[in-house]
Amino acid sequence: MREKPSTVDFEIRTDSLTTRIGLAASLTKDIPRVYEDLMYLAPMAYHLNGSVRGKLAIHEEDLQILSDMYDSYVSKVEGRVDIFVLPQGSTAACELHVCRSEAKKSVRALHKVSLEREVPEILFDYTQLLANVLFAMAVYVNKYHGVDEIQFVSKSYPMRKKKQLGD
């Protein structure tokens, strides 16, 4: 913990991500598909963790599996991943939003590592896609539980024209 390089910060972030994925899995046992996917993603997050300091453990086939997972969830939520929504809904969906946020923090920590040493691009691709998968899962879980998404429209930032809920 007293190390100065940013590598340890990335490892702490991805450890937190893995822990939160485990919590989300415990909340989704009523949705076997999501539970099984999260139980697959938990060790993958630990593989991501070790891929900076140790041997690269994330490969193209892992990225493809994650991409297929994303496409599958997106196809089941009818375009609702194209809007900005409030992180709310069922407890499981809220935890998945926390996981999404942890994945985004992991991307930022990985960027800081890349300022000190070379980081394989696949780690950025995987971590960013993981955040998207976790978001799509959250929307799917809310849909599964019959919870409507609440679209967020920023007063601070002009938004490009996106779909409205119900479009």
SS3 content of the chain, % helix, strand, coil (to 5): 65, 0, 35
pLDDT digits (tens, 9 = 90+) for 122-136: 999 999 999 999 999
Distance CA 159, CA 96 (A): 24
Residue holding tokens 């493809």? 64
Q: Is the pLDDT of residue 153 over 90?
A: no
**Mean of all residue pLDDT scores within the chain:** 92
Q: H-type helices in 115-166, by residue range?
A: 121-144
pTM of the model: 0.91
From 80, 79, 76, 70, select the one nearest 148 (Cα to Cα).
80
pLDDT digits (tens, 9 = 90+) for 62-85: 999 999 999 999 999 986 777 889
pLDDT score for 9: 94
